[in-house]
Structure 1
Amino acid sequence: MTTYSVQVVIMPLKELLDPQGKAVKGGLENLGLKNVTDVRVGKHITLQVEAESAEAAKAIGEEAAKKLLANAVMEYFEVTVL
């Protein structure tokens, strides 16, 4: 068994409003950063996973995201093994 670092990035679905992103965009505009056209705020989670292979570690990360970390109704996720 090897320990793998698995990154799970969770973002709101593009079809849904992102009030947190909208607030950040407004704050950036107030600071004079008017060239920012859109902001989406999500979560970045790093897992240390013991697995037989990188593919198995990725599968564990995907299972964790589906079962606990992401809300499939409002969010999508991407899993990467480093």
Structure 2
Amino acid sequence: HKIILPLLNQLLQTLGVSPASISFSCLTMESDRFICIREKVGEQNQVLIVDLSDPSEPIRRPITADSAIMNPASKVIALKGCCS
């Protein structure tokens, strides 16, 4: 964990993720395949999906949710709750 967390932090910041969004309250990780980050960019809520097998191609979606996680087998995003 001591090595992985700083590398993950650096990768996410390189992808443009705000350091405030790199926390357990905004980030979920499914196995060693996907990371989902909920963040607010300007006035828009987004979910950023990073496939760790190809982190250079993150997917951003305009989604508002309390939590988000990616199914590694079927590439379906599961969302929990929604706030307005």
- The alignment's TM-score, normalised by the length of structure 2, stands at 0.23
Q: Based on CA coordinates, which of the two structures has the bigger radius of gyration?
A: 1
RCO higher in structure (CA 8 A, sep ≥6): 1
- The alignment's TM-score, normalised by the length of structure 1, stands at 0.23
Select the structure that is richer in helix.
1
